[in-house]
């Protein structure tokens, strides 16, 4: 169950009060918990995640289009990719206190899933999907105006940052190297890719994303962070 403390936080900090509390509970229910509690009548968040993914991409795309007229299509795409990724959404979920509210099965709990970035990304998307169903796009945009949009305006998602190019330049300072991005997992619904980055035959990082390009950017970003 979602805690009363969290519900009160949504009201006081973000002015959000769900008309249908079951949607909020569903947004924080992992499949492992739902499978262990079949009689509770609570569904897992996967369908809400699917919806929230599309809702967030539309809301963020609309915001970028309206507020960054100086950027061309390629720059807008790069900026959106920097925002709509595992690292960013997982960080937002942590900042907003989402991890402690997730309903997990015993096995996932023991495995440390509560801190898993891909899971936190899923919950962030599911929450926005639930909010969209409960109150519409205006409510989602209101939430994003209080949370994500200020970070966009502050320049935390620089459109010019291309992690793959930055990594290539970093690795090839002393000569050519062989860089490969290999898809090791692909899920159709909701769309998800896992890519491993191989440098001179050695795996140095992995990345996840909603498409292959986003996963490759994430893998390059992780590698840069580790190398630096």
Write down the pLDDT at residue 160. 59
Is the model's pLDDT at 207 over the cut of 70?
yes
What distances in angstroms separate CA 184 from CA 68, 94, 194, one per listed residue?
35, 27, 6
**What is d(CA 12, CA 20) in angstroms, rounded to the nearest whole number?**
18
Domain shared by 177 and 135, yes or no: no
160: part of which helix (H) or strand (E)?
none
* Range of the structural domain that residue 63 is part of: 4-153
Active site residue 49: no
Residue reference for tokens 């050519």: 176
Domain shared by 146 and 33, yes or no: yes
Q: What is the pTM of this model?
A: 0.71
Domain shared by 87 and 170, yes or no: no
Is the model's pLDDT at 19 over the cut of 90?
yes
- The arithmetic mean of pLDDT across residues 102-131, rounded, is 94
Catalytic residue among 44, 85, 122, 125: 125
Of 153, 187, 214, which residue constitutes the final position of a domain? 153
* Residue 109 belongs to a domain: yes
Catalytic residue among 26, 53, 134, 218: 53
* Residue 158 belongs to a domain: no
Preceding peptide of 190 cis, ω within 30°: yes
Domain shared by 192 and 94, yes or no: no
Structural domain count of the chain: 2
Among 19-33, 67-81, 148-162, the range scoring the smallest mean pLDDT is: 148-162
Active site residue 125: yes
Domain shared by 135 and 197, yes or no: no
Domain shared by 70 and 183, yes or no: no
What are 91-101's pLDDT values in tens digits?
899 999 999 99
């Amino acid at each position: 169950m979602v805690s009363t403390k969290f519900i009160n936080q949504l009201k006081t900090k973000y002015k959000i009060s769900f008309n249908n509390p079951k949607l909020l509970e569903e947004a924080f229910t992992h499949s492992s918990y739902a499978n262990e509690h079949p009689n509770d009548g609570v569904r897992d968040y996967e369908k809400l995640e699917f919806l929230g993914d599309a809702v967030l991409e539309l809301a963020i795309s609309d915001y970028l289009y309206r507020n960054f007229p100086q950027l061309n299509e390629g720059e807008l795409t790069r900026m959106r990719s920097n925002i709509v990724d595992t690292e960013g959404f997982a960080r937002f979920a942590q900042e907003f206190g989402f991890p402690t509210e997730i309903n997990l099965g015993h096995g996932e709990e023991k495995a440390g899933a509560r801190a898993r970035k891909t899971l936190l990304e899923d919950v962030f998307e599911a929450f926005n999907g639930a909010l969209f169903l409960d109150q519409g796009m205006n409510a989602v945009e209101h939430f994003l105006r209080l949370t994500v949009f200020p970070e966009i305006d502050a320049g935390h998602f620089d459109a010019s940052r291309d992690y793959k190019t930055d990594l290539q330049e970093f690795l090839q300072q002393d000569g050519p190297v062989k860089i490969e991005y290999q898809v090791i997992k692909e899920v159709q619904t909701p769309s998800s890719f896992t890519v491993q980055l191989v440098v001179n035959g050695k795996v140095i990082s992995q990345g996840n994303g909603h498409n292959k390009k986003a996963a490759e950017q994430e893998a390059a970003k992780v590698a840069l962070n580790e190398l630096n």
